[in-house]
Amino acid sequence: KAGVTQTPRYLIKTRGQQVTLSCSPISGHRSVSWYQQTPGQGLQFLFEYFSETQRNKGNFPGRFSGRQFSNSRSEMNVSTLELGDSALYLCASSRRDRGTDTQYFGPGTRLTVL
Amino acid sequence: AQKVTQAQTEISVVEKEDVTLDCVYETRDTTYYLFWYKQPPSGELVFLIRRNSFDEQNEISGRYSWNFQKSTSSFNFTITASQVVDSAVYFCALSENPNSGYSTLTFGKGTMLLVSP
């Protein structure tokens, strides 16, 4: 079974621009979560989608948004990029199994903001 | 608030040594789940194990073993006879609100394991 895929793998943007990252979950997984990983803050939860609805959101400004499509693929968007948005953005997909979800991660998109 | 602490920032061992990675968690939930993930230099987080709060049985999988102790809120991970390929950052994580319909992971800061030949 194919794993979680993320595109693009690398991005370089300048301050003020916006960016869209894409995630395709494992087949059959309807939940998609996004995490930001930075050296200073570690892994932080951004948001989670299930059946095209955002079910949970982390403590990030409104510049960070996402959506999920009917085929469970998800995108996240960051508008008005800041230098501090440089990070590895990880997407994870999951489905409920024996009481909770086990999240399986993609390879990530490394975003550099100049 | 839920919290995961991995006090060891970096560990260096020589191949074939045993190594234990510590994880201490805090939660007010009575039902929760604990996870370990491995992040090699490529960046992808690889799922290793999941444990629920009602199952304190230790687990062994090949060279890997996990010791879950609710009394000390710890979920430690031991690699026996370490190999160079074990070099990676290891994350312990706690699942929030498992009965709410969604699961969000709270991660520790990670422990970088360097195994030298």
Of A58, A98, A107, the CB nearest to B44: A107
Chain B partners within 8 Å of A109 (Cβ): none
Amino acid B25: pLDDT: 97
Chain A partners within 8 Å of B105 (Cβ): 33, 35, 43, 45, 103
- What rounded mean pLDDT belongs to chain B? 92
Residue with tokens 């869209």: A20
Q: What would the pLDDT profile of B46-89 be if each residue is shown by its tens digit?
A: 999 999 888 887 888 899 999 999 999 999 999 999 999 999 99
Q: What would the pLDDT profile of A4-51 be if each residue is shown by its tens digit?
A: 999 999 999 999 999 999 999 999 999 999 999 999 999 999 999 999
Residue A88 and residue B43: Cβ atoms within 8 Å? yes
Q: Which two tokens stand for residue B85?
A: 């390929």
Using CB atoms within 10 A of its CB, is residue B90 exposed (0-12), middle (13-18) or buried (19+)? buried
Q: Which two tokens stand for residue B102?
A: 């969604």
Contact B102, A99 (CB under 8 A): no
Chain B partners within 8 Å of A106 (Cβ): 44
Pairing of strands A5-7, A19-24: antiparallel
Q: Give A44 to chain B, closest Cα distance, Å.
A: 8
